[in-house]
Structure 1
Amino acid sequence: MRGWVNISLAAMLAVGLVASAHGAEPQPVGLEPMPVGAGPYHFDTAEQHGIRVDILARGLAHGYSFAFLPDGDALIVERGVRIRQLRDATGAKPVLVAAPLAGVPDFSGTANIHPDDVLGIQDIAIDPDFANNRLLYYTYNRPAGYDAGARRLKVVTVLARATLRDGWLTGAKDLLTGEAAVGVGGSRILFGKDNMLFLSVGGLSIGDIQSAQRTDNIYGKILRIRRDGTVPGDNPFVKTRGARPEIYTFGHRDPLGLALDPASGDVIASEHGPQGGDEVNRILAGRNYGWPLYSYGVEYGGSPLPTVPVGPGTEPPVMVWMPAIAPSGIALYDGDRFAAWKGNLFVASARRGEIDGTGALVRVVFNDKFQEIRQESLLESLHQRFKDVRQGPDGLLYALTDESDSVLLRISPAPRPSR
């Protein structure tokens, strides 16, 4: 698949739910998985035009997150399993270290695991002073009992900090622990202004979904703490009786992407809606973002949610996707290598409109009021579930996929490919 890639919309939508007239089992909805070749790939894009995509690492098990170290290496999370180190990630010939980091929480032997129970390592973030203190922050989900009624594990989300030395996480300390609950999902970490740490935690997927509207728990929230785990005195619920003082905003469904707006310093979040209604939100202290009382989406299967999109006292989204794109990691580009993309938002999308195999890197252009004016889907012909995207220290873009054979990609400017 070298060279310029162009796949028609008709071809992309050709695979659907097909059942025979004789009552045979329906075929899965989606496009056939496509192995990513050795590359490099070349694409034409709307404003930057020519780009080159190099495959830096492959054979990863369901990539979730990655972060760059000051020396040019990168750490890659294989969700729920391990952290891998990629030597010279920004160089010409990166090398994936075979042995994972030691000291990462491991729950692989846990019994009674339901397919939807999410355990183990989730997100990672490098301390702003990592070059001096070697501190690494990470989230993980650990089992906390069994709910016989739901036939599911009870799970807690934990934010921890450890020192990274010679391939080991040592001196691990839990800084924040959530409540034991059924249906716990993913989380993301971001360092914001003044090195405050923001942590987004998805809402509960079954049972107590109204917990996103309560302030007595961390689920369906974005939290804000200092690097040592203490709570800033200006957090909006510090003085609210019964509230978790770490809460910064609430009423979120599944905010799986966090980025800092270089222009305003505000935190920007991507958020999964139900079926449709995926969002981009500007995160403002103390605001209620509506879930599950208000949503632009519907229930899976098409039944309506008993809501209106935005209600009294709730913060409206910056933008909404209909149909959904399953957004995850995001990055606001402020480098110099892609002059035409400066200020653009890049969103890792797993699929569009509930059709597997239609993931992409979505590029959104905003005006000076942070209002969407156009967007473009990049790399969709690779048919990958994109999970994270970052601007590298070299000003290039890097993206990670979520597959059984995940890959880490580097995107760089290139001459416009000929047709």
Structure 2
Amino acid sequence: MGFSRTSLIAIGAALIGIAPVAAAAEEEVGLKPVRVEDREYRFDSAEQHGVAVRVIARGLSHGYSMAFLPGGDALVVERGVRLRLLRGATSDAPRLLADAIAGVPDYSKQEHVHPDDVLGIQDVALHPDFARNGLIYFTNNKPITFDAKAGRLKSSLVLVRARLDGTRLTDMAEIMTGAPEVGIGGSRIQFSRDGLVYVSVGGLSTGDDASSQRLDTIYGKVLRLNADGTPAAGNPFAGRKDARPEILTYGHRDPLGLGIEPRTGALFASEHGPQGGDELNRILPGRNYGWPTSTYGNQYGGSPLPQAPVAAGTEGPTMVWLPAIAPSGIAFYTGDRFPGWKNSLFIASARRGQVNGTGGIIRVVLNDRMEELRQEVLLDSLHQRFKDVRQGPDGLLYALTDEDAAVVVRISPAAD
């Protein structure tokens, strides 16, 4: 899940009014880790038979995001640490460069870092006109000060624009900044067809669930911005003194995936629930998505399911997962290499039902009204924590894992 287990136990306990359970007693439950070998794996799917999967890069640490460059190279984020270049990602011989992209903020020597703090680079995305201007965008959790009362760092989520010059970043500018808070988490970036920038931002993981409902903070929100970081025209809370003008929607817990549906242009977000209750949400301006009072999940350690998972005045999810799938990056397939997967939604899943080693890629078929028709789990036999899935410029799919020894895999039609 997006929040640490310690924080989630505290959050769950606070919501039901009991003292937190000691996290030290919790044991990791799951399947033993496996090494994805350098060979071709074969899979089948309901509507695309004969699928081949092969590792194209290894030696990464906790992958989080990928972005393809026009020539077939790819940027790969090692969450909170580095931005790497995968040379020839779509070629027959991809090569992960040993040296990281220069210029990304480095907080490896930061003092007072709590185990639950999430610092550094998060998501990365290309400007729609990257081929001409070379601009990339990334979110960065930037440490600001030490909060002695909390005993934790205060950090700000910052949207950064920079120019990619070979293997280094230049002309970096912080174009949107959140207020310093304790316990900030993950984020995603998505450009729309009209060039606007959407940024999804997780709520605070310190028990301050009210942050997702407050309009004076960006945490627990989806934001809509111009390419220069200013609030987009027509945002629903613009002009209110008690609201950040960048906010498009609120009441989110941990929305770690954003994608544009190709038939309608609608924006969708995948979102972590607590224990169960992970969601797929259609993002509609001004709507309240309910966290923390509306959820289909229960609390870590167990509790009854809520009687009214969608409270009055809140927007219900398009889909919900019970048990949880720990969803992260999402991609709608628009290519021609997999005709049976046209318009399918692919979701990177870290694990299922709180059992480690059960991650995979979830494929969902939606009808024209954006209602679920069917879904299936792919690649789960690899026992990986998947964190991102992307369509490459070659029309194939690529997935990134969140492991100590993370890999990038290519998904293609089998040769036969």
TM-score when normalising by structure 1: 0.91
1:307 deviates by 6.7
Residue aligning to 1:368: 368
1:232 deviates by 1.9
Distance 1:302 1:240 in 2: 40
1:349 partnered with 2:346 = no
Distance 1:251 1:307 in 2: 19
Distance 2:369 2:69 in 1: 33
- Cα deviation 1:229-287 (Å, max 9, x = unaligned): 12222111112222100000000000000000111111110000011000000001111
Secondary structure, aligned partner of 2:181:
coil
CA contact under 8 A between 2:195 and 2:226: conserved in structure 1?
yes
CA contact under 8 A between 2:295 and 2:306: conserved in structure 1?
no
Residue aligning to 2:336: 336
1:373 deviates by 1.6
CA contact under 8 A between 1:293 and 1:307: conserved in structure 2?
no
CA contact under 8 A between 2:296 and 2:305: conserved in structure 1?
no
Residue aligning to 1:255: 255
Change in CA separation of 1:51 and 1:257 when aligned onto 2, cut-off 3 Å: same
1:368 deviates by 2.0
Distance 1:383 1:219 in 2: 32
Q: Which amino acid aligns with 1:121?
A: I
1:116 partnered with 2:116 = yes
CA contact under 8 A between 2:296 and 2:306: conserved in structure 1?
no
Residue aligning to 1:241: 241
CA contact under 8 A between 2:80 and 2:122: conserved in structure 1?
yes
Q: Which amino acid aligns with 1:385?
A: R
CA contact under 8 A between 1:295 and 1:307: conserved in structure 2?
no
1:26 deviates by 8.3
Residue aligning to 2:138: 138
Residue aligning to 2:9: none
1:160 deviates by 0.5
Q: Which amino acid aligns with 2:408?
A: L
CA contact under 8 A between 1:103 and 1:168: conserved in structure 2?
yes
CA contact under 8 A between 2:221 and 2:248: conserved in structure 1?
yes
1:330 deviates by 0.3
Distance 2:307 2:224 in 1: 29
Residue aligning to 2:302: 302
Q: Which amino acid aligns with 1:117?
A: D
Residue aligning to 1:107: 107
Distance 1:374 1:295 in 2: 22
Secondary structure, aligned partner of 1:235:
coil
Distance 2:164 2:36 in 1: 32
Structure 2, unpaired ranges of 5+: 1-24
1:147 deviates by 2.4
CA contact under 8 A between 2:128 and 2:195: conserved in structure 1?
yes
1:98 partnered with 2:101 = no
Distance 1:386 1:249 in 2: 26
TM-score when normalising by structure 2: 0.92
Q: Which amino acid aligns with 2:348?
A: A
* Percent sequence identity over aligned pairs: 62
Calculate the aligned-residue CA RMSD, in Å.
1.3
Secondary structure, aligned partner of 2:85:
strand
CA contact under 8 A between 1:289 and 1:314: conserved in structure 2?
yes
CA contact under 8 A between 1:182 and 1:207: conserved in structure 2?
no
Q: Which amino acid aligns with 2:356?
A: D
Residue aligning to 1:6: none
Secondary structure, aligned partner of 1:233:
coil
Structure 1, unpaired ranges of 5+: 1-24
Residue aligning to 2:269: 269
Residue aligning to 1:313: 313
Q: Which stretches of structure 1, 4 residues or more, deviate above 6 A after TM superposition?
A: none
Distance 1:207 1:370 in 2: 33
Distance 1:74 1:300 in 2: 37
Q: Which amino acid aligns with 1:387?
A: K
Secondary structure, aligned partner of 2:132:
helix
- Cα deviation 1:64-114 (Å, max 9, x = unaligned): 001000111000000000001011111111111111000001111111111
- Cα deviation 1:157-185 (Å, max 9, x = unaligned): 10010111021111110011001111110
Secondary structure, aligned partner of 1:355:
coil
Bigger shift: residues 135-144 or 229-238: 229-238
Distance 2:28 2:206 in 1: 24
Distance 1:59 1:390 in 2: 19
Distance 1:301 1:81 in 2: 31
| 1:20-419 map, 5 Å | 28-304=28-304, 308-414=308-414
Q: Which amino acid aligns with 2:404?
A: S
Q: Which amino acid aligns with 1:229?
A: G
Q: Which amino acid aligns with 2:61?
A: A
Distance 1:64 1:372 in 2: 27
- Cα deviation 1:29-64 (Å, max 9, x = unaligned): 100000110012111222211101121100100000
Bigger shift: residues 68-77 or 406-415: 406-415
Change in CA separation of 1:51 and 1:249 when aligned onto 2, cut-off 3 Å: same
CA contact under 8 A between 1:294 and 1:307: conserved in structure 2?
no
1:387 deviates by 0.1
Q: Which amino acid aligns with 2:329?
A: G
